[in-house]
Amino acid sequence: MKLLLVTQNYPPSRGGMAESCGRIVRNLKRKGCEIHVLHFSNWQKPYVIKTETGGNYSALGIYDTEEYTLNLATLFLEKKKEFLDVDAIIAFGGYLPMMWTPVISQFFEKPLYTCIRGNDFDEGLFSKKRNSLLYALEHSEAILSVCTEKQEKMAKLFPFKKVFYTPNGIDVVFWNLNDNEKKKVDERRKVLTDKKVILIAGQLKFKKGIRHFIESFDQFHFKSEYELWMIGDLPEEVKLFINNFDLNVKLFPFASKYEMRSFYAMADVVCIPSLYDGMPNVLLEAGASKKLIIASEVGGIPDVIMHRKSGLLYHPLEANALLDVLIHYHHLSEDQKELMKNEIYNTINQDFTEQKEIQNYLNLFPL
């Protein structure tokens, strides 16, 4: 099977979607697929081509306007015919691929498979991007959804389309620290804080629920016993907002997955306060690290966590819901916490592995 994958999110770009895209491409290649990647990226203009094992990679420049960017991308594709010697086109993440792929799939008579990865759908549906989103889905051979919530919504919008559930996967073994690593992590934790640690990681924007979390955490009666660690890209407006509160907060820059292994190990609990989301990598990483997770009941999070069995969920718009969950967590016994940690670990180890993730794609693209 030969595939052309078009994305705005691919290494060296940072973030969960780039991580997922790189992982899926790598594992499809290991299964025998030949994949050419077209990556809309500000890193290179006008374009750069690299020959890789199992296919080519090209970074396409992003310019001031969408029409200029996509016309040049079309010109590139018409010139580089080797990228079109494929059985299908996959759109994976980002507004530009969503606009471009349904047109080029018709121009070059290749079936289109559109991967919906969370914000592509949530932000596109209720914005000026809606027409591009709906046009892409309408002209797709099949739609691939990272969570059942969006799968159900898209099935209602397009009842005659095939909409498949293709959740993320993870290599659980990678997140298990050996005894020597655990010893070093314990030593570092003692240097950094003597409080319980609540960890939030990722793109720390207001749309990720940071405002609501800080406001709720500020009302938490036991907040002085905790330290909030925020790891990732933090906009200046969010920093200024946090400074208005008397909280124990440590800010860390974006961390690689190798660095995140230690951060998860040092945390007592991981919080994912998103207002809307797909299936965040942090969710699976924290669970694979045997961490108790507090998360909003949105997107693909309920696909993974069962409330009070494998984690703690709350509705992000329900008054005091997060505060109630924080209080509930505080009063849990260590045995109760261990039961939930083990349950989320077992769930991910059984149902959200890289092997199962890639098999979902292979079921759509038989070799």
DSSP 104-133: HHHHTT--EEEEE-SHHHHHHHTSTTHHHH
First-to-last CA distance in the chain? Answer: 5
3 state DSSP class of 79 = helix
Q: 209 pairs with which residues across the strands?
A: none
In this prediction, residue 49 carries a pLDDT of 87
Question: Per residue in 197-230, pLDDT tens?
Answer: 999 998 888 778 999 999 999 999 999 999 999 9
Residue range 344-362: mean pLDDT, rounded: 96
Q: What is the pLDDT of residues 41-97, one digit of tens each?
A: 876 666 888 888 899 999 999 998 999 999 999 999 999 888 899 999 999 988 999
CATH of 172-351, one of 3.20.20.140, 2.10.69.10, 3.40.50.2300, 3.40.50.2000: 3.40.50.2000
Closest-CA residue to 119 (of 10, 5, 276): 276
What the block records as the tokens of 8 is 């705005």
Are residues 261 and 177 in contact, defined by beta-carbon separation less than 8 angstroms? yes
Q: What is the DSSP letter of 273?
A: -
Q: What number of residues does the chain have?
A: 367
Q: The whole model's pTM is what? A: 0.93
In this structure, what DSSP letter does residue 276 have? S
**pLDDT the model gives residue 150:** 94
Helix or strand holding residue 203 (H, E): strand 196-203
Strands (E), 75-195: 88-92, 112-116, 142-145, 163-165
Q: From the CB of residue 160, how many other CB atoms can be counted at a distance below 10 Å? A: 6
Cα(348)–Cα(337) distance, integer angstroms: 17
pLDDT reported for residue 244: 94
pLDDT in the model for residue 119: 76
Q: How confident is the model at residue 142 (pLDDT cuts 50, 70, 90)?
A: very high
Residue 44: predicted pLDDT: 62
Per-residue burial over 237-276, b if 16 or more Cβ lie within 10 Å, else e, is ebeeebeeeebbbeeeebeeeeebbbbbbbbbbbbbbbbb
Closest CA to 85 of 36, 140, 125: 36
Topology (CATH) of 2-169+354-362:
Rossmann fold (3.40.50)
**Same CATH fold, 172-351 and 2-169+354-362?**
yes
- Could you give the 3-state DSSP secondary structure of residue 207? helix
What is the model's pLDDT at position 321?
96
Question: In the chain, where are the structural domains located?
Answer: 2-169+354-362, 172-351
Determine the Cα–Cα distance for residues 307 and 295; give it in Å rounded to an integer: 10
